[in-house]
Amino acid sequence: MYSIGIDSGSSTTKGVLYDGENVVYKLILPTGANPKRTIKSLYETLNSKAQDLGHETYTVTTGYGRDLLAEADKKITEITCHGRGAATLVEGVRTVVDIGGQDSKVIQLDKDKNVMDFLMNDKCAAGTGRFVEVIMRLLHQDLFDLDTYAQHADPIKISSMCTVFAESEVVGLLAQDIPGDRIARGVVSSISERTSHFTKRLAVEDRVFFSGGLSQFEVFRSELSHHLGLEVVTHELAQFTGAIGAANIGFRKYK
Protein backbone atom coordinates (compact mmCIF):
# COMPACT_ATOMS: atom_id res chain seq x y z
CA MET A 1 0.00 0.00 0.00
CA TYR A 2 1.13 3.54 -0.80
CA SER A 3 -0.22 6.77 0.56
CA ILE A 4 -0.64 9.79 -1.70
CA GLY A 5 -0.03 13.24 -0.24
CA ILE A 6 -1.05 16.29 -2.28
CA ASP A 7 -0.34 19.91 -1.36
CA SER A 8 -2.46 22.22 -3.51
CA GLY A 9 -0.79 25.63 -3.19
CA SER A 10 -1.45 29.00 -4.78
CA SER A 11 1.50 28.74 -7.20
CA THR A 12 2.25 25.03 -7.48
CA THR A 13 0.60 21.72 -6.65
CA LYS A 14 2.92 19.08 -5.21
CA GLY A 15 2.28 15.37 -4.80
CA VAL A 16 4.16 12.31 -3.54
CA LEU A 17 3.76 8.55 -3.36
CA TYR A 18 4.93 7.34 0.05
CA ASP A 19 5.63 3.80 1.30
CA GLY A 20 5.77 4.64 5.00
CA GLU A 21 9.48 5.43 5.00
CA ASN A 22 10.46 6.93 1.65
CA VAL A 23 9.08 9.02 -1.18
CA VAL A 24 8.68 6.57 -4.04
CA TYR A 25 7.62 9.12 -6.65
CA LYS A 26 7.05 12.88 -6.69
CA LEU A 27 5.42 15.34 -9.05
CA ILE A 28 4.97 19.12 -9.13
CA LEU A 29 2.68 21.08 -11.45
CA PRO A 30 1.87 24.80 -11.80
CA THR A 31 -1.51 25.28 -10.09
CA GLY A 32 -2.64 27.64 -12.84
CA ALA A 33 -6.08 29.15 -13.27
CA ASN A 34 -7.93 25.88 -12.65
CA PRO A 35 -6.64 24.33 -9.39
CA LYS A 36 -9.38 21.68 -9.42
CA ARG A 37 -8.24 20.35 -12.77
CA THR A 38 -4.60 20.49 -11.68
CA ILE A 39 -5.10 18.53 -8.46
CA LYS A 40 -7.21 15.97 -10.32
CA SER A 41 -4.53 15.52 -13.00
CA LEU A 42 -1.77 15.15 -10.41
CA TYR A 43 -3.82 12.63 -8.40
CA GLU A 44 -4.55 10.53 -11.48
CA THR A 45 -0.86 10.41 -12.38
CA LEU A 46 0.18 9.36 -8.86
CA ASN A 47 -2.62 6.82 -8.49
CA SER A 48 -1.84 5.30 -11.88
CA LYS A 49 1.82 5.02 -10.90
CA ALA A 50 0.85 3.21 -7.69
CA GLN A 51 -1.41 0.80 -9.60
CA ASP A 52 1.39 0.07 -12.07
CA LEU A 53 3.52 -0.92 -9.07
CA GLY A 54 0.71 -3.12 -7.69
CA HIS A 55 -0.35 -0.95 -4.76
CA GLU A 56 -3.63 0.38 -3.41
CA THR A 57 -3.62 4.01 -2.26
CA TYR A 58 -4.90 6.20 0.56
CA THR A 59 -5.00 9.91 -0.31
CA VAL A 60 -4.67 12.96 1.92
CA THR A 61 -4.89 16.50 0.55
CA THR A 62 -3.71 19.75 2.10
CA GLY A 63 -3.16 23.38 1.09
CA TYR A 64 -5.52 25.97 -0.35
CA GLY A 65 -7.14 23.49 -2.73
CA ARG A 66 -7.46 20.54 -0.35
CA ASP A 67 -11.26 20.42 -0.74
CA LEU A 68 -11.14 20.20 -4.54
CA LEU A 69 -10.37 16.48 -4.95
CA ALA A 70 -13.42 14.22 -4.61
CA GLU A 71 -11.21 11.12 -4.43
CA ALA A 72 -9.39 12.28 -1.29
CA ASP A 73 -9.82 10.02 1.74
CA LYS A 74 -8.96 12.84 4.14
CA LYS A 75 -8.31 16.59 4.05
CA ILE A 76 -5.92 18.17 6.58
CA THR A 77 -4.77 21.76 7.13
CA GLU A 78 -1.39 22.81 5.76
CA ILE A 79 -0.11 23.78 9.22
CA THR A 80 -0.42 20.20 10.47
CA CYS A 81 1.00 18.72 7.26
CA HIS A 82 3.96 21.09 7.02
CA GLY A 83 4.85 20.38 10.63
CA ARG A 84 4.72 16.62 10.14
CA GLY A 85 6.53 16.82 6.81
CA ALA A 86 9.40 18.84 8.28
CA ALA A 87 9.76 16.43 11.20
CA THR A 88 9.77 13.54 8.71
CA LEU A 89 12.52 15.07 6.58
CA VAL A 90 14.79 16.29 9.42
CA GLU A 91 14.80 14.39 12.70
CA GLY A 92 14.45 16.52 15.83
CA VAL A 93 13.37 19.75 14.14
CA ARG A 94 11.13 21.91 16.37
CA THR A 95 10.66 25.13 14.35
CA VAL A 96 9.53 25.35 10.72
CA VAL A 97 9.61 28.44 8.50
CA ASP A 98 7.66 28.01 5.28
CA ILE A 99 7.62 30.67 2.56
CA GLY A 100 5.08 29.81 -0.09
CA GLY A 101 3.80 31.49 -3.22
CA GLN A 102 1.42 33.86 -1.45
CA ASP A 103 1.88 33.34 2.28
CA SER A 104 4.46 32.58 4.93
CA LYS A 105 4.12 30.64 8.17
CA VAL A 106 6.10 29.71 11.25
CA ILE A 107 5.26 26.45 13.03
CA GLN A 108 6.45 25.26 16.43
CA LEU A 109 6.48 21.53 17.15
CA ASP A 110 6.70 19.49 20.33
CA LYS A 111 8.99 16.48 20.79
CA ASP A 112 6.27 14.18 19.39
CA LYS A 113 6.10 16.15 16.09
CA ASN A 114 2.75 17.74 16.95
CA VAL A 115 1.99 21.42 16.31
CA MET A 116 2.23 23.49 19.50
CA ASP A 117 1.81 26.96 18.02
CA PHE A 118 1.96 28.76 14.68
CA LEU A 119 1.78 32.14 13.00
CA MET A 120 0.59 32.74 9.44
CA ASN A 121 0.89 35.79 7.22
CA ASP A 122 -1.42 35.66 4.20
CA LYS A 123 -2.46 39.32 4.09
CA CYS A 124 0.19 40.59 1.68
CA ALA A 125 2.19 39.00 -1.14
CA ALA A 126 5.32 40.91 -0.07
CA GLY A 127 7.86 38.53 1.42
CA THR A 128 6.63 35.52 -0.56
CA GLY A 129 7.70 33.58 -3.62
CA ARG A 130 5.33 35.56 -5.82
CA PHE A 131 7.03 38.79 -4.73
CA VAL A 132 10.45 37.43 -5.74
CA GLU A 133 9.07 36.29 -9.11
CA VAL A 134 7.77 39.80 -9.81
CA ILE A 135 11.10 41.44 -8.99
CA MET A 136 13.18 38.94 -10.99
CA ARG A 137 10.87 39.48 -13.96
CA LEU A 138 11.51 43.23 -13.70
CA LEU A 139 15.23 42.47 -13.73
CA HIS A 140 14.79 40.24 -16.82
CA GLN A 141 16.22 37.27 -14.95
CA ASP A 142 15.02 33.71 -14.50
CA LEU A 143 13.95 33.02 -10.93
CA PHE A 144 15.83 29.71 -10.93
CA ASP A 145 19.11 31.58 -11.57
CA LEU A 146 18.75 33.55 -8.32
CA ASP A 147 21.66 31.87 -6.53
CA THR A 148 24.24 32.45 -9.27
CA TYR A 149 22.85 35.92 -10.00
CA ALA A 150 22.68 37.39 -6.50
CA GLN A 151 24.76 35.29 -4.13
CA HIS A 152 27.92 37.41 -4.22
CA ALA A 153 26.32 40.82 -4.77
CA ASP A 154 26.36 43.68 -2.27
CA PRO A 155 22.67 44.20 -1.32
CA ILE A 156 21.02 47.55 -1.93
CA LYS A 157 18.46 48.54 0.68
CA ILE A 158 14.87 47.94 -0.46
CA SER A 159 12.67 50.09 1.74
CA SER A 160 9.27 49.18 0.24
CA MET A 161 7.86 45.79 1.21
CA CYS A 162 4.54 46.23 -0.55
CA THR A 163 4.68 44.52 -3.95
CA VAL A 164 3.26 47.50 -5.84
CA PHE A 165 5.54 50.09 -4.25
CA ALA A 166 8.58 47.79 -4.41
CA GLU A 167 8.11 47.45 -8.18
CA SER A 168 8.20 51.24 -8.50
CA GLU A 169 11.25 51.40 -6.25
CA VAL A 170 13.09 48.78 -8.34
CA VAL A 171 12.28 50.67 -11.55
CA GLY A 172 13.70 53.79 -9.93
CA LEU A 173 16.87 51.98 -8.84
CA LEU A 174 17.39 50.62 -12.35
CA ALA A 175 16.98 54.14 -13.70
CA GLN A 176 19.86 55.15 -11.38
CA ASP A 177 21.99 52.40 -12.97
CA ILE A 178 22.04 50.30 -9.79
CA PRO A 179 23.14 46.79 -10.91
CA GLY A 180 20.32 44.25 -11.01
CA ASP A 181 22.20 41.69 -8.93
CA ARG A 182 22.48 44.19 -6.06
CA ILE A 183 18.73 44.80 -6.27
CA ALA A 184 17.98 41.06 -6.25
CA ARG A 185 20.23 40.53 -3.24
CA GLY A 186 18.54 43.48 -1.53
CA VAL A 187 15.16 41.82 -2.03
CA VAL A 188 16.51 38.57 -0.55
CA SER A 189 17.89 40.45 2.44
CA SER A 190 14.66 42.41 3.00
CA ILE A 191 12.48 39.30 2.86
CA SER A 192 14.82 37.38 5.16
CA GLU A 193 14.85 40.21 7.69
CA ARG A 194 11.06 40.53 7.57
CA THR A 195 10.68 36.75 7.97
CA SER A 196 13.10 36.64 10.91
CA HIS A 197 11.12 39.30 12.80
CA PHE A 198 7.95 37.30 12.12
CA THR A 199 9.61 34.06 13.26
CA LYS A 200 10.93 35.50 16.52
CA ARG A 201 7.37 36.15 17.69
CA LEU A 202 7.39 32.47 18.65
CA ALA A 203 9.87 30.75 20.97
CA VAL A 204 12.34 29.65 18.32
CA GLU A 205 14.46 26.56 18.96
CA ASP A 206 18.16 26.41 18.10
CA ARG A 207 17.62 24.88 14.66
CA VAL A 208 15.10 26.02 12.07
CA PHE A 209 13.81 24.01 9.11
CA PHE A 210 13.19 26.10 5.97
CA SER A 211 10.55 24.85 3.53
CA GLY A 212 8.62 26.21 0.57
CA GLY A 213 9.69 27.19 -2.93
CA LEU A 214 12.33 29.71 -1.81
CA SER A 215 14.09 27.09 0.33
CA GLN A 216 15.74 25.69 -2.81
CA PHE A 217 17.94 28.80 -3.00
CA GLU A 218 21.10 28.83 -0.87
CA VAL A 219 21.16 32.62 -0.87
CA PHE A 220 17.83 32.64 0.98
CA ARG A 221 18.83 29.94 3.45
CA SER A 222 22.08 31.68 4.39
CA GLU A 223 20.49 35.13 4.60
CA LEU A 224 17.66 33.84 6.80
CA SER A 225 20.21 32.14 9.05
CA HIS A 226 22.12 35.42 9.32
CA HIS A 227 19.07 37.45 10.34
CA LEU A 228 17.80 34.81 12.79
CA GLY A 229 21.24 34.23 14.29
CA LEU A 230 20.46 30.50 14.21
CA GLU A 231 21.25 27.44 12.13
CA VAL A 232 18.77 27.11 9.28
CA VAL A 233 18.57 23.71 7.57
CA THR A 234 16.61 22.51 4.59
CA HIS A 235 16.29 19.38 2.46
CA GLU A 236 16.27 18.54 -1.24
CA LEU A 237 12.57 17.65 -0.87
CA ALA A 238 11.72 20.78 1.17
CA GLN A 239 9.36 22.08 -1.53
CA PHE A 240 7.32 18.89 -1.00
CA THR A 241 7.14 19.26 2.80
CA GLY A 242 3.36 19.68 2.95
CA ALA A 243 2.72 16.77 0.58
CA ILE A 244 5.13 14.52 2.50
CA GLY A 245 3.44 15.41 5.78
CA ALA A 246 0.03 14.63 4.27
CA ALA A 247 1.31 11.29 2.95
CA ASN A 248 2.92 10.41 6.29
CA ILE A 249 -0.32 11.11 8.15
CA GLY A 250 -2.30 9.19 5.54
CA PHE A 251 -0.06 6.14 5.79
CA ARG A 252 -0.41 6.06 9.57
CA LYS A 253 -4.18 6.46 9.43
CA TYR A 254 -4.52 3.68 6.86
CA LYS A 255 -2.40 1.31 8.93
Dump pLDDT digits (tens) for 86-117. Answer: 999 999 899 999 998 778 899 999 988 889 99
Homologous superfamily in CATH for domain 1-90+240-255: ATPase, nucleotide binding domain (3.30.420.40)
Residues 6 or more apart in contact with residue 172 via CB below 8 angstroms? none
- Distance, in Å, from the CA atom of 188 to the CA atom of 166, rounded to the nearest integer, reads 13
- Distance, in Å, from the CA atom of 161 to the CA atom of 146, rounded to the nearest integer, reads 19
Residue 181: predicted pLDDT: 96
On whether the CB atoms of residues 218 and 199 are closer than 8 A, the answer is no
Rounded to two decimals, the pTM is 0.92
Which of the 8 DSSP states describes residue 5?
Answer: E
On whether the CB atoms of residues 199 and 88 are closer than 8 A, the answer is no
Q: What's at 66, amino acid-wise?
A: R
Which of the 8 DSSP states describes residue 90?
Answer: S
Residue 126 above 80 pLDDT?
A: no
Closest CA to 103 of 133, 77, 128: 128
Residue 123: predicted pLDDT: 61
Kindly list the domain boundaries of the chain, sorted by start residue: 1-90+240-255, 91-234
In the chain, % of residues over pLDDT 70:
97
CB atoms within 10 A of CB 103: 22
- Distance, in Å, from the CA atom of 26 to the CA atom of 146, rounded to the nearest integer, reads 24
Which of the 8 DSSP states describes residue 152?
Answer: T
Residue 34: predicted pLDDT: 96
Domain 1-90+240-255 identical in fold to domain 91-234: yes
On whether the CB atoms of residues 96 and 131 are closer than 8 A, the answer is no
Closest CA to 27 of 11, 37, 16, 18: 16
CATH 3.30.420.40 for domain 91-234: yes
Which of the 8 DSSP states describes residue 103?
Answer: -
